[in-house]
Amino acid sequence: MSYAEMYARARDDAEGFWMDAAEAIDWVEKPSKALFDDNAPLYEWFRDGTLNTCWNAVDRHVEAGHGDRVAIIYDSPVTDTKSKITYAELQSRVAALAGGLKAKGVGKGDRVIIYMPMVPQAVEAMLACARLGAIHSVVFGGFAANELAVRIDDAQPKAIIAGSCGIEPGRIVKYKPLLDGAIELASHKPEFCVILQRDQERAEMIEGRDFDWYGFQEGTDPADCVPVEGTHPVYILYTSGTTGAPKGVVRATAGHLVALYWTMEKIYDCKPGDVFWAASDVGWVVGHSYICYAPLFHGNTTLVFEGKPVGTPDAGTFWRVMSEYNVRAFFTAPTAIRAVKREDPKGELIKNYDLSGLRAVFLAGERADPDTIHWAHDHLGVPVIDHWWQTETGFAIAANPLGVEEIPVKIGSPSVPMPGYDVQILSDEGHPVPTGELGAIAIKLPLPPGTLPTLWNAEERFRKSYLNTFPGYYETGDAGMIDEDGYLYIMARTDDVINVAGHRLSTGAMEEVLAAHPDVAECAVIGATDDLKGQMPVGFLCLNAGTSRDEGELVGEVVKLVREKIGPVAAFRTAVIVDRLPKTRSGKILRGTMVKIADGEDYKMPATIDDPAILDEIGVALKRIGYAGG
Ligand code: COA
Ligand code: AMP
């Protein structure tokens, strides 16, 4: 079947297409149909089926005789550790962990927050929750206590599972004090915490609340998989929106299983048993879908890599890992390739390794710039596939479906829509724009299985954020165009979300932190273009009347504040003091124009600006810190 035939079938016979795909999954009770639209525009998939995520990820492979197959490879240059876990071992480890949780009262529907570094136990914790029908919410280790607290209050977890520390090059990140701080800040208190003590940092335990990972499992029975209905949430994953309050993206069990399983063969061209490596973090959607779930659903070997593209120990690490484990499909963010390219521009280190098993490289998380794609393609000699997706969708909206047909690559485009995604470009008024013209990217409802059915405890916000702007469509928050061959181009966000080193961040959240500084009357944060990280946040600070501050000192204070309140991942390092901010007459800050000035690009004078002279002032301020051609 060609890509075009496959796409057309999913469009014209969605029931048949997705019910066929559902055959690949083990059900306790099969669903009577795929789509339930009685509550449109809220849609549900496979509602009346029952099944279990962990069974499909682990147990069924053991039952099928593949217990000896490696499920997880752990490679950690930062701790100098390598190990392998077979499917049979994974089954007993996950069942034991789930048994410990169950003995402490965790059951179907309870939330469990997971705050862990890139160790196999992070994946085991996710699977143990899924085994019990408990809903996990993984929080990225680079977030500070305050961000963790916000998620604790929203998800209201019964338990928190955490590692004692994470390891960043050159420093140990002590998770436990962050966890304790977050629990203190949060109004909701978990009943208990499970702590994985790592050799690099032993955490101090709070008697009666904290339990040791291994100790608390002792004397408990391994837990069986609990069947749940198809729409039961398997996880909540918080992501950045326009305001400081993160959005809790909900993933429904059945659609997630069906869609992710489908992608492993059709997009990533993998057969069960192949080694799949997503060099991301379990704290992000890429980590959920392609470190933990999809490879395991499909019976592949997944790689948990605790290291960085460079510096652990060098820019050859990616190639070393690929050759050592015969990786077939490699997935990372363009920024990681840029980091490698910067250290080893000629790709000399690649020559030290046998990469003959590599089928393709997949890029997502941010715009893949042509230089990066060319460099990877020229040096690796395999297809380099840009694909576009979001936390909300859980898998690619647009991609090149290598396992179906490799369609011609157009550099700069993540290729074509995947089955079930009717992608359209709309004008501000919600009308489709002509081919090749820019507009808001929207997807005609319903979205395919695996995509978010709602936001956790926030249905109104779900409607407002995604459904209300263009009735009948899902609003992606991205702007772009579709060319005459149906290829998509993703150009920019339509909201205040920025993308720093493949990490999705809210400038609104940073502005909330800056505004809380006692000397700051007003502020703005923009994402300026950065050669390595794609974008970097830049802050503008207007001081309270009569306040005079040394710029360097004040900037140091706000940088520290953002690190404390949001976390190091925000990579907020730069700010300037300005007298005033450019605004429209109705008071809207002209962030888009400020980005253009920072990037040294031409810009059109906004017709509605209240005083054009402010733009010159912004340019002068930006030059002072090395932007705007300064
Ligand atoms: N726990 C604690 N801190 C973390 C962290 C974690 N899991 N991940 C990152 N941080 C910290 C970093 O140590 C750094 O701290 P610093 O300010 O003290 O230096 C800060 O957060 C910013 O990190 P990052 O933006 O990642 O920059 P970097 O300079 O450490 O590394 C890259 C740059 C490009 C090598 C790195 O960003 C990378 O590998 N990116 C790949 C992106 C990716 O996997 N995206 C997921 C979507 S596919
Ligand atoms: P996240 O939810 O963290 O995966 O971030 C999703 C956002 O990252 C998208 O809405 C885009 O803005 C951006 N993004 C992801 N993949 C791509 C891509 N291949 N090309 C351009 N932008 C991308």
Residue 244 predicted with pLDDT over 80:
no
- Residue list, ligand 2 pocket, CB within 6 Å: 239, 285, 364-368, 386-391, 414, 477-478, 490, 493, 499, 504
Name the closest-CA residue to atom 32, ligand 1.
Answer: 336
Q: Do domains 87-226 and 501-624 have the same CATH topology?
A: no
The pLDDT tens digits of the residues spanning 251-266 come to: 999 999 999 999 999 9
554 ligand 1 Cβ < 6 A: no
| Residue 587: pLDDT over 90 | no
Write down the mean pLDDT value for the chain.
Answer: 97
Q: Answer yes or no: are the C-beta atoms of 443 and 474 closer than 8 Å.
A: yes
* Token code pair at residue 312: 């652990």
Tell me how far the alpha carbon of residue 187 lies from the centroid of ligand 1, in angstroms.
Answer: 29
The residue whose CA is least distant from atom 15 of ligand 1 is 568
Alpha-carbon distance of 192 to 475, in angstroms, equals 39
Residue 442 CA, ligand 1 centroid: distance in Å: 30
Note the pLDDT of residue 484: 98
Atom nearest to 171 CA in ligand 1: 13
Say whether 65 sits in a helix, a strand or coil.
Answer: helix
Asked whether residue 373 carries a pLDDT value surpassing 90, the answer given is yes
Compute the distance from residue 276 Cα to the ligand 1 centre, in Å: 22
**Whole-angstrom Cα distance, residue 368 to residue 286?**
16
Residue 146 to residues 139, 183, 423: CA-CA distances in angstroms? 12, 9, 37
Which pLDDT band holds residue 245 (cuts at 50, 70, 90)? Answer: confident
Q: Is the CB of 308 under 6 A from ligand 1?
A: yes
What average pLDDT does the segment 608-626 reach? 91
Measure 179 CA to ligand 1 centroid, in angstroms: 20
Q: What are phi and psi of 482, to 5 degrees?
A: -125, 135
173 within ligand 1 shell (Cβ under 6 A):
yes
Give 346 Cα–ligand 1 centroid separation in angstroms.
24
Cis peptide before 434 (omega within 30 of 0): no
Instruction: Tell me the C-alpha distance between 13 and 1, whole Å.
Output: 15
Pocket lining: 335 vs ligand 1, CB cutoff 6 Å: yes
**Where do the structural domains in the chain lie, given as residue ranges?**
87-226, 501-624
Angle subtended by helix axes 551-565 and 507-515, to nearest 10 = 120
Query: Are 50 and 25 contacting, i.e. CB atoms less than 8 angstroms apart?
Result: no
Ligand 1 contact, 501 CB (< 6 A): yes
Q: Is the pLDDT higher at 496 or at 46?
A: 46
The reported pLDDT for the residue numbered 439 is 97
**Residues 6 or more apart in contact with residue 191 via CB below 8 angstroms:** 104, 105, 158, 159
**Rounded distance, CA 300 to CA 159, Å?**
30
Rg of the Cα atoms in the chain: 24
Q: Quote the ligand 2 centre to 150 CA distance (angstroms).
A: 24
Q: How far is the CA of 451 from the centre of ligand 2 (A)?
A: 15
Q: Which ligand is nearest to the CA of 389?
A: 2
**CATH of region 501-624, choose from 3.40.50.10320, 3.90.25.10, 3.40.50.360, 3.30.300.30:** 3.30.300.30
Q: State which H helix or E strand residue 73 sits in.
A: strand 70-76
Report the C-alpha gap between 226 and 123 in whole angstroms.
18
Measured by CA distance, the residue closest to atom 33 of ligand 1 is 501
Ligand with minimal distance to 502 CA: 1
Query: Which atom of ligand 1 is least distant from the CA of 331?
Result: 48
Mean pLDDT of 285-304: 98
Q: Any idea which residue has 């390794």 for tokens?
A: 353
Model confidence at 572, pLDDT cuts 50, 70, 90, reads very high
Which has the closest alpha carbon to 488: 455, 443, 539? 443
Which residue CA neighbors atom 11 of ligand 2 most closely?
A: 366
Nearest CA to ligand 1 atom 4: 142
- Residue 609: its pLDDT value, please? 84
The answer on pLDDT for 83 being more than 80 is yes
Q: Name the residue of 390, 413, 475 to mutate for ligand 2: max ligand atoms within 8 A of Cβ.
A: 390
Percent of the chain at pLDDT > 70 equals 100
Q: What is the pLDDT of residue 611?
A: 85
Q: Is 339 in the pocket of ligand 1 (CB under 6 A)?
A: yes
Residue 590 alpha carbon to ligand 1 centre in Å: 29
Distance 498 CA to ligand 2 centre (A): 10
pLDDT band (50, 70, 90) for residue 585 = confident
Task: Tell me the CA–centroid distance for residue 456 and ligand 2, in Å.
Answer: 21
Distance CA 570, CA 563 (A): 7
Ligand 2 centroid from CA 444, angstroms: 19
Q: Please give the distance, rounded to the nearest whole angstrom, from the Cα atom of residue 92 to the centre of ligand 2.
A: 36
Rounded to the nearest 5 degrees, what angle is found at the Cα of 505, between the Cα atoms of 184 and 491? Answer: 165
Q: Residues 189-211: what's their mean pLDDT?
A: 98
Cα 36 from Cα 18, distance rounded (Å): 13
Model confidence at 606: pLDDT above 80? yes
Nearest ligand to residue 488 Cα: 2
What would the mean pLDDT of 10-15 be, rounded to a whole number?
98
pLDDT in tens, 121-135: 999 999 999 999 999
Q: CB of 368 closer than 6 A to ligand 1? A: no
Question: How far is 125 from 193, CA to CA, in rounded Å?
Answer: 12
Q: What is the pTM of this model?
A: 0.96
Domain 87-226 indexed as CATH 3.40.50.980? yes
**Which of the residue ranges 66-70, 486-490, 588-592 would you say has the lowest mean pLDDT?**
588-592
SS (H, E, C) 83-130: EEEEHHHHHHHHHHHHHHHHHCCCCCCCEEEEECCCCHHHHHHHHHHH
Residue 610 pLDDT > 90, yes or no? Answer: no
| Type of residue numbered 207 | E
Q: To test ligand 2's pocket by mutation, which of 280, 397, 490, 506 has the most ligand atoms within 8 angstroms of CB?
A: 490
What pLDDT is stored for residue 31 in this prediction?
A: 98
Contacts of residue 470, Cβ cutoff 8 Å, sequence gap at least 6: 426, 430, 440, 442
275 or 605, higher pLDDT: 275
Q: Which residues pair with 277 in a beta bridge?
A: 330
